[in-house]
């Protein structure tokens, strides 16, 4: 069975910022995801959240927007719209797991499609439902390399 991932915005942001903790391993994961044509299931807020986080951290706003746009060119990327059904699921996950709103949307997207959540966010790692197998980028790389053998 092919790997299916939901990558939290923290992975994309870290990959962009060379000084960011987890930046190198996040860049490695994104390269591997592209090379292996790994399907990504993401909430539609992903490019917005990436660009906003980068601009808020002081990156050039035009570059931040360009990077957010570039994420939408990933092969096999599916952006899930925030409709009423997803909002209700995310509301339940946010309150049950005590997650922030955007974090709950990533967990919801992963849960809805049985994807593995990959994040650098310690709170998501700790609080996401166990069946998601939430992990950091290093573990996702190991999974992809094992699957390719």
> CA separation (Å) from 99 to 32, 51, 65, 102, 103?
29, 21, 26, 8, 6
Residue 1: its pLDDT value, please?
Answer: 44
Residue 48: its pLDDT value, please?
Answer: 98
79: phi then psi, degrees, rounded to nearest 5: -100, 120
Roughly what angle, to the nearest 10 degrees, separates helices 101-113 and 84-97? 110
Which parts of the chain have pLDDT scores under 70? 1-2, 148-149
CA distance 130 to 76: 25
Q: Which two tokens stand for residue 97?
A: 């797991």
Q: What is the CATH number of the domain that holds 106?
A: 3.40.50.1010
Q: In 72-100, which ranges are continuous DSSP H helix?
A: 84-97
CA distance 59 to 69: 15
69: phi then psi, degrees, rounded to nearest 5: -65, -40
Let me know: does 9 contact 49? Beta carbons within 8 Å: yes
Residue 149: its pLDDT value, please?
Answer: 64
Task: Give the domain range for residue 87.
Answer: 5-148
Let me know: does 45 contact 105? Beta carbons within 8 Å: yes
pTM of the model: 0.94
CA distance from start to end of the chain: 13
How many structural domains are present in the chain?
A: 1
Angle at 126 between CA 48 and CA 129, to 5 degrees: 85
Give the three-state DSSP class for 27.
helix
């Amino acid at each position: 069975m092919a790997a299916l991932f939901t990558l939290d915005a923290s992975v994309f942001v870290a990959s962009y910022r060379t000084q960011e903790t987890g930046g190198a391993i996040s860049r490695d994961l994104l390269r591997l995801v592209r090379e292996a044509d790994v399907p990504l299931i993401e909430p539609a807020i992903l490019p917005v959240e990436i660009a906003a986080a980068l601009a808020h951290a002081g990156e050039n706003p035009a570059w931040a927007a360009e990077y957010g746009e570039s994420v939408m060119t990933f092969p096999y990327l599916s952006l899930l719209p925030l409709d009423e059904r997803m909002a209700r699921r995310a509301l339940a996950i946010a309150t049950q797991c005590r997650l922030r709103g955007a974090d709950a949307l990533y967990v919801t997207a992963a849960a809805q499609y049985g994807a593995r959540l990959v994040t650098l966010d310690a709170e998501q790692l700790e609080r996401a439902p166990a069946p998601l197998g939430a992990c950091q980028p290093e573990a996702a790389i190991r999974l992809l390399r094992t699957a390719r053998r």
